[in-house]
Amino acid sequence: MDSSGSLIYLLLAVLALAGAYFAAAETAYSSMNTIRIRNYAENGVPRAKQAVRIADRFDKALITMLIGTNITHIAFASLTTMLATRLWGPGSVPAMTVGATVFVFLFVEMLPKSYAGDHSEQLALGFAGSMSFLMKLLTPLSFFFKGVSDLASKFFGADDMPTVTEEELHDIIDTMEEEGGFEPDKSELVQSALDFGETTVQDVFTPRVDMAALDIDSTSEEILDMIRREKYSRIPVYRDTIDDIVGILQTRKYLKAYLENHDVRLAELLTPVHFVHKKTNIHELLDEMSRQKTHLCVITDDYGGTMGIVTVEDILEELVGEIWDEDDVVVNDLTETEPDVYEVSGDMLAEDAFEAMDVPFDEDALEHKTMGAWALEIFEAIPERGDRFERGHLRVTVKELSNNRITLLRVEVLERGEQKTEN
């Protein structure tokens, strides 16, 4: 073999390594965790700051890598053609082309990219110095191709998508929890914070049938009895009908006034009512309640009637879960009594119940519905204790009722499958 032949083999080896470098770099910088790399930079990890600068100018870095990839591939193809012609004549070029293509696909593209996908941060740091140098070296070419790319984007219209959508962020948090990067409690808190801006009052309020309220003409004995029984710090007060709420009684003020003088005029102790519509966003409502310095609001329906109440505690529980006082009796909304058999509170949101039972469901059909309301819609009448129905892979039995309301259901998952539960 003459010196020129040896040089060709050496050049082919160098080009193959260069192609593998650009392939691995492209995958490493496109799939690396930029947040983790930024943390490395803040903690003084070598070459991390260079990797961050590359990530911040990823368009230029990508063009540099594509230029390098194309140069190496074209040069590799040219040299293999030259080598085949010299060794075996022009007739061997097609066979050599096929062989070179398979070699490039396996050893220059697929294997380096596969390795880089599993070691993206490690390679991103390792390549940071050389990639920064190449980005500077190829600046004239990358500037030209970047201009062509920008022009094409303007001509065809660029799709201004956010880097990460809210749905993708939920998926990222789920993945972090599955991989052990997030404890379940922290994951649930972050998920709740993301959903906080989309939650409305009707998702968290206390319905009117569960409200504790006083008639403005109530006697002192009736008021004291309710304060002892309910242990609420604030109680709505109505005139004649609960649809006419006239004020909010702070029980602390009433007890103080009662100790000073048993003849207390209830109307003189009431604070103004803050009314909100059921579709009000709880994030906006929390800001409003903070400005108004109020802890309880009355929820109105589409006809102006009283639908229920919502408190600051109700809103905060949407973020952090149930907040129990020392006098509260802890009640679980859902309990698995045996495998795939659950006792579910009628007041539990159907979406939360089906999610906890790992049962597929139609989010649009069940939005804002409690399990009791969902069951009533299917019965199409007031059921009796023991009544049951089957829907999808579920068998649902009424266990307890109170004032024509379903308060407890027994839900059996007959079969695990993809069929969604609807109304």
For residue 379, what is the domain's CATH number? Answer: 3.30.465.10
User: How far, in Å, CA of 64 to CA of 145, rounded?
Assistant: 10
Tally of structural domains, the chain = 4
User: How far, in Å, CA of 174 to CA of 211, rounded?
Assistant: 37
- Residue 17 corresponds to which tokens in the numbers above? 């390594």
* 87: Cβ contacts below 8 Å, ≥ 6 apart: none
Based on the domain organization, do 345 and 370 belong to the same domain?
A: yes
Look at residue 349 and tell me if it is in a domain.
yes
Based on the domain organization, do 148 and 34 belong to the same domain?
A: yes
* 297: Cβ contacts below 8 Å, ≥ 6 apart: 201, 273, 274, 275, 276, 285, 289, 309, 310, 311
pLDDT tens by residue, 223-280? 999 999 988 999 999 999 999 999 999 999 999 999 988 888 899 999 999 999 988 9
More confident residue, 163 or 27: 27
3-state SS assignment for residue 398? strand
Domain boundary residue, one of 295, 320, 345: 320
Look at residue 265 and tell me if it is in a domain.
yes
pTM listed for this prediction: 0.54
pLDDT tens by residue, 329-353? 556 789 999 999 999 999 888 888 9
pLDDT tens by residue, 271-311? 999 999 988 998 899 899 999 889 999 999 888 899 999 99
Look at residue 418 and tell me if it is in a domain.
no
Tally of CA atoms within 13 A in the half-sphere of 148 that contains its CB = 7
User: How far, in Å, CA of 110 to CA of 92, rounded?
Assistant: 26
Look at residue 138 and tell me if it is in a domain.
yes
* 74: Cβ contacts below 8 Å, ≥ 6 apart: none
Domain boundary residue, one of 267, 293, 320: 320
User: How far, in Å, CA of 129 to CA of 245, rounded?
Assistant: 70
**Average pLDDT of 134-160?**
78
Based on the domain organization, do 407 and 291 belong to the same domain?
A: no
Based on the domain organization, do 148 and 19 belong to the same domain?
A: yes
Look at residue 66 and tell me if it is in a domain.
yes
Look at residue 421 and tell me if it is in a domain.
no
Based on the domain organization, do 108 and 238 belong to the same domain?
A: no
pLDDT of res. 359: 87
Domain extent for 100: 3-156
User: How far, in Å, CA of 184 to CA of 22, rounded?
Assistant: 39
Q: At what angle do helices 120-137 and 139-156 cross, to 10 degrees?
A: 100
DSSP annotation string for 334-350: EEEEETTEEEEETTSBH
Based on the domain organization, do 208 and 306 belong to the same domain?
A: yes
- Residue 54 corresponds to which tokens in the numbers above? 């590359």
Based on the domain organization, do 191 and 206 belong to the same domain?
A: no
pLDDT of res. 369: 84
Based on the domain organization, do 25 and 93 belong to the same domain?
A: yes
Domain boundary residue, one of 266, 285, 320: 320
Look at residue 419 and tell me if it is in a domain.
no
Based on the domain organization, do 143 and 10 belong to the same domain?
A: yes
Diameter of the chain by CA atoms?
A: 117
pLDDT band at 327 (very low <50, low <70, confident <90, very high): low
User: How far, in Å, CA of 320 to CA of 190, rounded?
Assistant: 9
Q: Residue 113 pLDDT > 90, yes or no?
A: yes
pLDDT of res. 310: 94
Residue 112 gets the label, from left (phi > 0), alpha (psi -120 to 50) or beta, of alpha
Look at residue 284 and tell me if it is in a domain.
yes
Residue 405 gets the label, from left (phi > 0), alpha (psi -120 to 50) or beta, of beta
pLDDT tens by residue, 1-14? 556 668 888 999 99
Based on the domain organization, do 235 and 190 belong to the same domain?
A: no
pLDDT band at 83 (very low <50, low <70, confident <90, very high): confident
Based on the domain organization, do 101 and 245 belong to the same domain?
A: no
Based on the domain organization, do 104 and 237 belong to the same domain?
A: no
pLDDT tens by residue, 198-226? 788 988 888 888 899 999 999 999 999 99
Query: For the chain, first and last CA: distance in Å?
Result: 80
User: How far, in Å, CA of 280 to CA of 296, rounded?
Assistant: 14
